[in-house]
Amino acid sequence: MSSKNELSRHSGRLYVFAGLAFVAGALVLAWPWLAGAVTIPWDAKGQAYPQIVFMARAFAAGDSPFWTPNVFAGFPQIADPQSQIFSPPFFLLALFNPAPSFRAVDGVVFGMLILAGLALIAFFRDRRWHPAGALVAAFAFSFGGSAAWRLQHIGEVISLCWFAMTVLALSRALTRSSLIYGFAAGVLAGFMALGRDQIALLCIFILIAFVIWHVWDGRGLRRRLLHALPPLSMGFIGGVLTVAIPIAFTIYLADDSNRPGMDFEEAARGSLPPLALLSAVVSNLFGVDGPMKDFWGPPSSFIWGETDLALARNMGAIYFGAIPLAALACAAGVLRDRAVRVFLAMMIFMLLYTVGSYTPFFELAFWIPGVELYRRPADATFPLCALLAILAGYGVHGIMARAERVHLKVGAGVLALLFGLCLFIAFDKGRLAQASGALMIGAVSLTGAVVALYMAPLFMRRAPYLVLAALAALMTLDLAVSNKPNESTGLPPATYDELHPDSTNETLALIHQRLAAHAAPDRRDRVELAAVDYEWPNLGLVHGFDHDLGFNPIRLKLFTDATNAQDQVSVPEQRTFSPLYAHFRSPLADLLGVRLIVSRYPLERMDKGFDPKDFTFIGQTKDGFVWENPRALPRVMAPGEAQIVDIDKMLTEGNWPEVDFTKTVLLDGDEAGAPLQGPSGEARILSYRNTEVIAEATSTEGCYLVLNDVWHSWWAAEVDGAPAPILQANVMFRAVRLGPGTHRVRFSFDPFAGLWAQLWKR
């Protein structure tokens, strides 16, 4: 179908006005966050924000952010998707802002969402789809669906934003056979892929389908293919240049991590129950935005029964606006047009993917390369809602063009049936009274949407700017009411006071005080924050102290095998132990130099073998109990003896030899050589930076300089300026063998040389 005659009466100024109207509405919708009344909560604060602050701190100090000593006894940030190092907007924020505030980070997220919406408007303009449709699509894409309800997953939101920009550049590259736009599309797709999340993977599938459909659809397959090859070739070059090195780092991290892949059963636990999709009809139908006790939607077990699913309550919230939903219902026939057929096909793909094990489809899709790396097929709601936004915008385009296949009455009937289903489920589950407010808002919104879609074409010729302004106002009002800040998307900044770089939190003050009291040339003591609160595990990234655990779904396999560290340690059940680290009173805890243990709960709740006599009770703050470990060992030591052990056996059985670690180091026999058997020496730290540690050791007969940071193959060592091998010591730490006398040892993190060495071995 074509609306060229209709649009020929309008100038390009209508699209500009649509863009301005969208930006105005977007600023209204984002204002609670931009004004600082609320901030993006949960993962955005507990995981992402500390990573950004760490990067900013590193830049401000002239240091490198490629490795952090602040979590998991050391971690390769350069290979971690969560580090945000390869996210251009956050990298630039950290580069120019030494202490990013909550508002600054939130502002970057909303800035990207606004740019994504503008990219969609430009995409609609290029295709001469109606500016009203462009406006509706932009609002639904950027402030509806998962982009709104799962705002706390800011990495995934940013990936979705790059997708919108890539679609625009790729479309221009293909339609114009433009090398410049082809290269730009490759770079933008590369930025999206650098998110290294499931959203990026699924959006890549959409882009591939978009290219195939462009080449296949129409006459002259050979001519269309030849027309597309030059920009696609430039796109390939742009994409490879953007992603090659970061993706290589991540691949090797995955091979050496706790999480190289998922099995189908584990991934299927993240399937979205189909009835959860009714949140697209009535926002907050299931009580998502209130206290957890009020949530009754699937898969809430006390309402729906046990399902063995592992989903957060907001993962099923996908409300993207009443007008977009009404446009999909009223213009369903239009959505079969060739112009959007590929988007419709991929929308169906994403819908089936989202519900996971509820259909046989996901079991087949699970074998598509890359899918097995991710859990939660429910994450597909991000691209699903993006595609619904585009299709809804095209539906508005069809309505404005008065297409014969647009049936407002039929659409109104479909909406009535969907609303009736929501009403019935609320009644059937005994939640009608609780859901009455949401149902009332939904009824008003859907009725107003149908009326708006009926009236808009009547006034478009005479008052096009008024129609666009009215649609923008209605979309803004609808999303401001139904997708307003809630427990999943916006909490008061004071909720995360301890995350502020200049926080005066009493527990943090006590931690710094006790660490300073034990400061010594050979020491850099660690802290364990065991089940304090959700945002605490990565606190060391903000405040510069070292936590033996952290918050990250990816961890080094060696560290995980030794400690059994979990993604999080915010509740007692997440503080698990390993054979080698069986109790808080453990040789591994001493080697890690865990000086303080802070917990909101009694330690015996996590460690049944906890004996208060083994620790010194420091006191209690509003955040929890503080204990001190008097046996914490120094960060650097100079034992003169070595004992050969089977590290793999120790990891499995957890048996520690009875040794004094200041005098004896445990080494694996494969690399140790003839072990030293002399007196211990003295060691001290001369300089300690993120990616460089310089230490000095003195001994009479030779010794091992042991650095109690996690062993990793991308670290190199020099002794008095000459390269020296790093031994894997005491199961998971680093050591260098030294001769008699005083020697200076420099440990340096060189991921590029380390990656090249691994590639060369292959």
What confidence tens digit (pLDDT) does each residue in 187-219 have?
999 999 999 999 999 999 999 999 999 999 878
- Higher-confidence residue of 649 and 6: namely 649
Classify residue 735: in a domain, yes or no: yes
Contacts of 216 (CB under 8 A, 6+ apart): 224
Residue 1: per-residue pLDDT = 39
Dist. CA 72–CA 555, nearest whole Å = 8
Dist. CA 133–CA 127, nearest whole Å = 12
| Tens digits of residue pLDDT in 287-309 | 998 888 889 999 876 788 878 89
Per-residue tokens: 650: 């120790």
**Band of pLDDT at residue 669, cut at 50, 70 and 90:** confident
Helices 49-60 and 88-96: angle between axes, nearest 10 degrees? 50
Residue 599 forms beta bridges with which residues? Answer: 625
The arithmetic mean of pLDDT across residues 316-331, rounded, is 96
Same domain, 561 and 439: no
Inter-CA distances, 472 with 18, 132, 187, 370, 476, Å: 8, 9, 32, 39, 6
User: Phi and psi of 738, rounded to 5°?
Assistant: -125, 150
Dist. CA 566–CA 585, nearest whole Å = 19
DSSP E strands in 279-415: the ranges are: none
Q: Is 663 helix (H, G, I), strand (E, B) or coil?
A: coil
Per-residue tokens: 587: 């040789």
Nearest to 316 by CA among 355, 269, 366: 355
Classify residue 61: in a domain, yes or no: no
Classify residue 712: in a domain, yes or no: yes
**Band of pLDDT at residue 257, cut at 50, 70 and 90:** confident
Residue 762: per-residue pLDDT = 61
Residue 3: pLDDT over 70? no
Q: Is 195 helix (H, G, I), strand (E, B) or coil?
A: coil
Same domain, 647 and 509: no
**Band of pLDDT at residue 671, cut at 50, 70 and 90:** low
Same domain, 307 and 333: yes
Q: What's the number of domains the chain is made of?
A: 3
Classify residue 487: in a domain, yes or no: no
CB neighbour class for 85 (10 Å; exposed up to 12, middle 13-18, buried from 19): buried
Q: Which structural domain range is residue 229 located in?
A: 12-38+101-482
| Tens digits of residue pLDDT in 373-401 | 898 999 999 999 999 999 999 999 999 98
Residue 409: pLDDT over 90? no
Classify residue 505: in a domain, yes or no: yes
| Tens digits of residue pLDDT in 570-595 | 999 999 999 999 999 999 999 999 99
Classify residue 43: in a domain, yes or no: no
Average pLDDT value for the chain: 94
Residue 516: pLDDT over 90? yes
Same domain, 567 and 599: yes
Same domain, 287 and 420: yes
| Identity at 348, one-letter amino acid code | I
Per-residue tokens: 471: 């649609």
| Tens digits of residue pLDDT in 7-52 | 455 578 999 999 999 999 999 999 999 999 999 999 999 999 999 9
Residue 604: per-residue pLDDT = 95
Same domain, 643 and 622: no
CB burial string 567-577: b at 16+ within 10 A, e below? bbbbebebbeb
Dist. CA 528–CA 699, nearest whole Å = 33
